[in-house]
Amino acid sequence: MRAVVQRAARAAVSVDGKITGEIVGGLCILLGVGTGDGPDDAEWLADKIVNLRMFEDDDGKMNRSLLETGGGALVVSQFTLYGDCRRGRRPSFTGAAGAEEGKRLYEHFVERVRRRGVETACGVFQTHMLVEIVNDGPVTLILDTPRAEQDAKKEWDNREPKHKRHEV
């Protein structure tokens, strides 16, 4: 799983002109589900995000977590986080999970965040959405689950060079 996490003063998502989820203060989480992801990945990522120290303490240092601040989370599904742009001009999305599996794990992730006591709002899975984020700081972090990070490293290490060098 992959997440782009932004500290937000405000964030909202709308579908067909209607707001489906909104927070004032907290985190906006753009969530991508990859092929091979499972419930353990959702559990790990939810725990990591709600405990990540992205908020300032009284000394202005990022020492407080979402749980400590009592902020909300807006979770928006975004399969394009698995867009591979290394070849050609059109992204390949073969690394993204299929719709059924993606939705199941997206919902599992949302439930795990809620179980940790975070008020959580959502977008609508597999729908065209408009997302408004007032990024506070700005503070933006990109997180991969350990398995996703290992898979990306293997893929990178095993890639074939586009042009082979010619010895002179």
**Residues with a known catalytic role:** 78-80
Q: Distance (Å, rounded) from C-alpha 144 to C-alpha 153?
A: 12
In terms of C-beta density within 10 A (0-12 exposed, 13-18 middle, 19 or more buried), how is residue 157 classed? exposed
Q: Distance (Å, rounded) from C-alpha 108 to C-alpha 102?
A: 10
Residue 144's identity, in one-letter code, is D
Which value, to the nearest 10 degrees, does the dihedral of the CA atoms of residues 51, 53, 54, 60 take?
150
H or E segment and range at residue 47: helix 39-51
Strands (E), the chain: 2-15, 18-32, 55-56, 62-64, 72-77, 120-122, 130-144
